[in-house]
């Protein structure tokens, strides 16, 4: 099974999560492409086969998407592609000391569901204010659901 790992980060912390997930997927016998500045052309396939997205999205500023994924999310919102073949899992990264905690991840979830994608796991919220091992939490979350969708 091949995953597209889409990373939305400003400071780079979310990329560490994505790297840990990439390593775990590889260890489990899957393949993955890490997109640190995803574009629709890189991610969309013209196939009837499922496309697996693992979205790692940090909230920036007043609830906005982190800079590395802004263009991708804007393209989804503007072009409104049918994501019926997309099966996605989302890690929303934020800081609970802000009232916009994980808003970008919530917005991404709402958008892809509106475009007919299907969630294959409950969204994981990671609080960078309190979480001592965000990479470990992300890998543990992946391990909880990956076997249910594996071929």
Q: State which residues form the domain around 30.
A: 2-149
Q: How confident is the model at residue 46 (pLDDT cuts 50, 70, 90)?
A: low
Full-model pTM: 0.94
The number of domains in the chain is 1
CATH assignment of the domain containing 139: 3.40.50.360
Residue in 21, 55, 23 with CA at minimum distance from that of residue 38: 55
Exposed/middle/buried for 132, CB within 10 Å: 0-12, 13-18, 19+? exposed
78: number of Cβ within 10 Å: 8
Q: What is the mean pLDDT of the chain?
A: 93
């Amino acid at each position: 099974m091949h995953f597209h790992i889409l990373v939305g980060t400003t400071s780079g912390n979310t990329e560490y999560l994505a790297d840990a997930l990439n390593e775990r997927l590889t260890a489990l016998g899957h393949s993955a492409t890490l997109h640190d500045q995803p574009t629709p052309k890189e991610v969309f396939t013209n196939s009837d086969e499922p496309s697996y997205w693992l979205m790692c999205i940090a909230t920036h500023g007043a609830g906005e998407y982190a800079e590395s994924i802004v263009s991708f999310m804007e393209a989804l919102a503007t072009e409104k592609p049918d994501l019926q073949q997309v099966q996605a899992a989302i890690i929303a990264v934020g800081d609970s000391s802000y009232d916009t905690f994980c808003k970008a991840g919530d917005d991404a979830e709402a958008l892809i569901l509106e475009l007919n994608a299907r969630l294959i796991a409950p969204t994981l919220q990671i609080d960078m204010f309190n979480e001592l091992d965000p990479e470990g939490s992300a890998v543990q979350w992946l391990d909880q659901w990956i076997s249910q969708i594996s071929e």
